[in-house]
Amino acid sequence: MMRVLCSVLTVLVAGILVLPAASQHSYQPKNGFVPNEKTAIRIAEAVLIAVYGEKQIKSEEPFSAKLLNGVWTVQGTIADGVEGGVAIIKISKANGTIISVTHGM
């Protein structure tokens, strides 16, 4: 009897663990979650504002984005006559992962 009970519990636990994973569907866009420059810049601005503040990031507009080997590099623009650097962020085209965030000096 105890052996049957253990077998039933094992099957139930396995079902609880496997069924949710099997029933989940994750959409993967053909061109990745960050398919173009506009999307990369919008994501970058949202993240950079959270890190460096809106005033700083707005002062670095416009932002540009370049795609190389599946990674978007988005960076700000420094105004003429202003010393310092700009924010640079790297974002995965495939899944939108933030790879790195830096700010030049």
The tokens of 61 are what?
A: 């507009």
pTM for the model: 0.74
Q: How far is CA 65 from CA 14, 43, 60, 75, in A?
A: 46, 11, 13, 7
Sheet holding 71-75, edge to edge: 64-68, 71-75, 87-92, 98-103
* CA 64 remoteness from chain centre: 17
pLDDT tens digits along 42-88: 999 999 999 999 999 999 999 999 999 999 999 999 988 778 899 99
pLDDT tens digits along 16-51: 555 555 557 788 889 999 999 999 999 999 999 999
